[in-house]
Amino acid sequence: MHGPAQAGWLLVVLCAATGAYCLLRMRSRIEEQRRTAGGEALMGFGMAVMAVPAAVVSPPRWVWLAYAAVFGAAALRSLWSARTSRHHLHHLIGAFAMIYMSLAMTMTPMAHAGHGSSGAPVLTGVFLVYFAAYVLHSGTRLAPARTAAAPAGPPPVPLGWADRPELALACRLSMGMGMLAMLLTL
């Protein structure tokens, strides 16, 4: 990733922590949540690896091609899963963005070292607009809503760490912000 090393390391930590929580979510009692958590964990850890500052390690071209292949497989899985859940379309777009960034790293190795820009500006712009809209939408869903009086009846069953919808949304929000940061430095 281009840009200041401190920002790169902060992004690595954010994405790795998000990936770790997504692994925890794979223990959920809800099957659909387990399925989506696996894809989100792959995305979080993949983004963490990609965000390592270029000054620390500059992998050879074949690593970025392998990276694109892994996310190509993730895109196919997301495409298949999108038949039953619209949320997987977001995973598909995220996988395409990771493929795009990986291929951009293979095309211009000097740009990766910080000597220019890489990627197609129009495609980068499309991904930036999508992820900016996604982050704004996710952020509004995290804001607390006013509620009426508490409903009568027994208290709800406490959820475990793997079944907390607000934490899953916060993870998706942080990955969206991470994707924006990575695309901006491309």
As to burial, measured by CB atoms within 10 angstroms (0-12 exposed, 13-18 middle, 19+ buried), residue 105 is: buried
For residues 127-142, average pLDDT: 91
User: pLDDT of 107-118, one tens digit each?
Assistant: 865 444 443 456
Q: Reply yes or no on whether the pLDDT at 126 is more than 90.
A: yes
pLDDT in tens, 9-41: 999 999 999 999 989 888 877 777 787 888 889
C-beta separation of 180 from 131 below 8 A: yes
Give start and end residues of each alpha helix (H) in the chain: 5-25, 31-50, 61-81, 87-107, 109-112, 121-142, 165-185
The model's confidence at residue 8, banded by pLDDT at 50, 70 and 90, is confident
Measure the N-to-C terminal CA separation of the chain; round to a whole number of Å: 7
- Closest listed residue to residue 45, CA positions, set 5, 114, 94, 109: 94
Q: For position 114, what pLDDT does the model report?
A: 44
The per-residue pLDDT for 14 is: 92
Mean pLDDT of the chain: 82
The whole-number average pLDDT for the span 123-132 is: 94
Report the pLDDT value the prediction gives residue 141, as an integer from 0 to 100: 83
- At residue 170's C-alpha, the angle toward residues 33 and 174, to 5°, is 110
pLDDT at 76 over 70: yes
CA distance 92 to 105: 20
Tokens representing 75 are 């895109």
User: What are the pLDDT digits (tens) for 166-175?
Assistant: 778 888 899 9
